[in-house]
Amino acid sequence: MRGWSELDILLICGDAYVDHPSFGIPLLGRVLEREGYRVGIIAQPRWDNLEDIQRLGRPRLFCGIGAGCLDSMLCHYTAFRKIRRDDAYTPGGVSGARPNRASIVYTNLVRAAFPGLFVVLGGIEASLRRAAHYDFWSDSLRRSLLFDSKADLLIYGMGERGMVELARRLAAGEDVAGIAGTAHISKEAGDAELLPSYEAMQSDKTLLLQATLAIEAQVHRGTGRLAQAHGDRYVIMEAPAAPLNESEMDALYSLPFTRAAHPSYREPIPALEMVRWSVTAMRGCGGGCSFCSLALHQGRRLSSRSASSIIREVTSMASQPGWTGTVSDIGGPTANLWQGACAIDAKGCRRASCLAPTLCPQLRLKQREYLSLLRQVRALPCVRHVGIGSGIRHDAALSDPEFMDGLIGEFVSGQLKLAPEHTVAHVLAAMRKSDFRLFERFCEIFTARSKALGKEQYIVPYIISAFPGCTMDDMRELAAWFQRQGWRPQQVQCFIPTPGTVATAMYYASCDLDGRPIYVARSDREREDQHAMLFPRAAGRRSGSAVPVNKKARRRR
């Protein structure tokens, strides 16, 4: 139909094909298409033969591989290493459509199907496994994904700049070394800063924390090359790619996404249903939470779209099938950091978080402007309701009473997601979260304001159990707080040591951010016991919202 004799670029993805800006591979496909390349996508190929991989033929330039929106191991296994029964990124939510360690398996398939073809890895799985890392599911320290997959290059972080530059260089026959935001294997470290080696980490676990903090610092400052030895070779991590500026963000999200799954699918894709009518307003997160991969993948520096770009996207959404007039979210990693910026552009910054333990004085928030944006979108003739599905930072919101009033009075659709994560001070410090008293203060204002307006509204708090440094006594204190409030917590996640994060290094080394020994709930039994502390009379209820236990709420459920 296109009149092509071959592809320029083949993209392979572990998720179903959904042409929506929240899905990485389709987004990159649109970006490369805009640059004039002939792009094909193979979604969730079978891995017991080469038929799916070969279906579109050998591409002229390269093959790009992404495991999907989640690490493939996280997709398959729970916090207690039990096999998940579903996969939100597959038609019908059926599990088993992607292999374990998908980046490695897909690379091997491509090598067998197209010998000698240039292969590049990207996405969250590759990004967070670019250096030596702890793997929770095998309980072992694993080498950089580049060594285990045998790929030629790895693009970490948000991949638009790296993919376009790689395509340009390969098309021009140029050397691909030195592209910002990439990692590759080399025989020499050159001028790169040396991280502890893979072999050294195996004998001294605390070195993983040292290396992880160095990688985090590189992402934050946006400069510097890193090298890590694996035997007699090195993984070279180039400086991060620069974040997209406002005009580039606007152009990216103006691409002709259909916001729909591929028409060949006969069953809905749960992940699409959750985000179909959402709008990505910004990228990056200044929170720097030690357990979160967002700041490591998207960066600490905030990139925001213009209000006019967001309004245009909402207007275009209204012409698509299934539109009901509800915008489920206008946000990103942290919705109320939209248009936020650092007054010194992070130059000389030594903080690990812009928000904890207190708000950085150099952080310039524009929460009233965000409130104005929400009101502008709500005023559109095609819009009936606007929500904030991605949630907000309550510590930032407290700094602006006008924003608080507008938020609570106009844009809470019954429930508001917040993430205090815990109540105990030393656990919150290890998480890099703000003082729990700020959450309590927010709850007081929220309750009083909602009551004054005659609205029945609830806060949905997200909680983490079995975090490194958290003991059973700490969990009892957390459970006691919920009991005093008359709340039944249900949005509780047992800590999963995902590759690449600071908290995972703390778990592996059993030490805090300063290297001091800490207690770690390591066995599944210990972790389950901590998790169960919050469910003394409702074992197994692991999802839903935290709601007040009263007659009206009970009737509604």
Residue 553 has pLDDT above 50, yes or no: no
Where a domain ends, among 237, 267, 286? 237
Q: 362, 344 in Cβ contact below 8 A?
A: yes
Q: 493, 463 in Cβ contact below 8 A?
A: yes
Averaged confidence pLDDT in the chain: 93
pLDDT for position 296: 85
Cα distances (angstroms) measured from residue 267 to each of 90, 95, 108, 259, 261: 9, 13, 29, 16, 10
pLDDT for position 537: 56
Where a domain ends, among 191, 211, 237? 237
Answer whether residue 311 is part of any domain: no
Taking the C-alpha atoms of residue 205 and residue 506, their distance in angstroms, rounded to an integer, is: 9
Residue 185 has pLDDT above 90, yes or no: yes
Task: Record the tokens describing residue 191, joined without a space.
Answer: 């001028």
Task: Record the tokens describing residue 100, joined without a space.
Answer: 């374990």
Where a domain ends, among 203, 237, 271? 237
The 10s digit of each residue's pLDDT in 365-384 is 999 999 999 999 999 999 99
Say which CATH number the domain at 449 has. 3.30.750.200
Instruction: Please count the other Cβ atoms lying within 10 Å of the Cβ belonging to residue 270.
Output: 15
Residue 13 has pLDDT above 70, yes or no: yes
Taking the C-alpha atoms of residue 42 and residue 516, their distance in angstroms, rounded to an integer, is: 47
Q: 384, 325 in Cβ contact below 8 A?
A: yes
Residue 164 has pLDDT above 80, yes or no: yes
Which residues are registered as beta bridge partners of 333? none
pLDDT for position 541: 37
The DSSP string of 465-515 is ES-TT--HHHHHHHHHHHHHHTEE---EEE----TT-HHHHHHHHTB-TTS
Greatest CA span in the chain, whole angstroms? 70
Residue 122 has pLDDT above 90, yes or no: yes
Taking the C-alpha atoms of residue 334 and residue 340, their distance in angstroms, rounded to an integer, is: 10
**What letter does residue 355 receive in the DSSP assignment?**
S
| Among 353, 290, 294, 356, residue whose Cα is nearest residue 501 | 290
| Among 176, 181, 178, residue whose Cα is nearest residue 158 | 181
Answer whether residue 279 is part of any domain: no
User: Percent of the chain at pLDDT above 90?
Assistant: 87
In this prediction, residues 330-335 reach a mean pLDDT of: 92
| Among 336, 331, 341, 355, residue whose Cα is nearest residue 406 | 336
Answer whether residue 401 is part of any domain: no
The 10s digit of each residue's pLDDT in 252-288 is 999 999 999 999 999 999 999 999 999 999 999 989 9
Strands 133-135 and 140-142: antiparallel
Could you tell me if residue 394 is left (phi over 0), alpha (psi between -120 and 50 degrees) or otherwise beta? alpha
pLDDT for position 201: 97
Say whether the peptide bond before residue 357 is cis (omega within 30 degrees of 0).
yes
| Structural domains in the chain (count) | 2
Residue 486 has pLDDT above 80, yes or no: yes
Q: 196, 210 in Cβ contact below 8 A?
A: yes
| Among 330, 281, 334, residue whose Cα is nearest residue 304 | 281
**What letter does residue 92 receive in the DSSP assignment?**
G
Residue whose token pair is 């033929």? 57
| Among 282, 284, 287, residue whose Cα is nearest residue 298 | 284
Rounded to 5°, the CA angle 376-379-382 comes to 120
Contacts of 361 (CB under 8 A, 6+ apart): none
Task: Record the tokens describing residue 378, joined without a space.
Answer: 């709500």
In this prediction, residues 145-170 reach a mean pLDDT of: 97
The DSSP string of 165-224 is HHHHHHHHT---TT-TTEEEEES--TTSEEEPPHHHHHH-THHHHHHHHHHHHHHHHT--
pLDDT for position 251: 97
In this prediction, residues 162-187 reach a mean pLDDT of: 97
Phi, psi of 236 (to 5 degrees): -100, 120
In this prediction, residues 516-545 reach a mean pLDDT of: 76
Phi, psi of 452 (to 5 degrees): -65, -30
Task: Record the tokens describing residue 454, joined without a space.
Answer: 């005659």
Range of the domain at 447: 414-557
Which residues are registered as beta bridge partners of 228? 195, 235
Cα distances (angstroms) measured from residue 509 to each of 3, 111, 429: 56, 36, 17
**What letter does residue 382 receive in the DSSP assignment?**
T
CA atoms within 13 A on the CB side of 362: 14
Mean pLDDT is lowest, of 188-192, 228-232, 412-416, for 412-416
pLDDT for position 488: 85
- What are the helix (H) ranges across 233-365? 246-252, 270-275, 294-298, 307-317
Rounded to the nearest angstrom, the gap between the alpha carbon of residue 386 and the centroid of all alpha carbons in its chain is 23
In this prediction, residues 97-118 reach a mean pLDDT of: 97
Residue 79 has pLDDT above 60, yes or no: yes
Answer whether residue 253 is part of any domain: no
Answer whether residue 284 is part of any domain: no
pLDDT for position 349: 84
pLDDT for position 76: 94
| Among 440, 441, 383, residue whose Cα is nearest residue 411 | 383
Q: 10, 37 in Cβ contact below 8 A?
A: no
Taking the C-alpha atoms of residue 340 and residue 345, their distance in angstroms, rounded to an integer, is: 11
Residue 543 has pLDDT above 80, yes or no: no
Answer whether residue 74 is part of any domain: yes
Rounded to the nearest angstrom, the gap between the alpha carbon of residue 527 and the centroid of all alpha carbons in its chain is 23
Residue 490 has pLDDT above 90, yes or no: no
pLDDT for position 414: 86
Which residues are registered as beta bridge partners of 327? 386
Residue 531 has pLDDT above 50, yes or no: yes
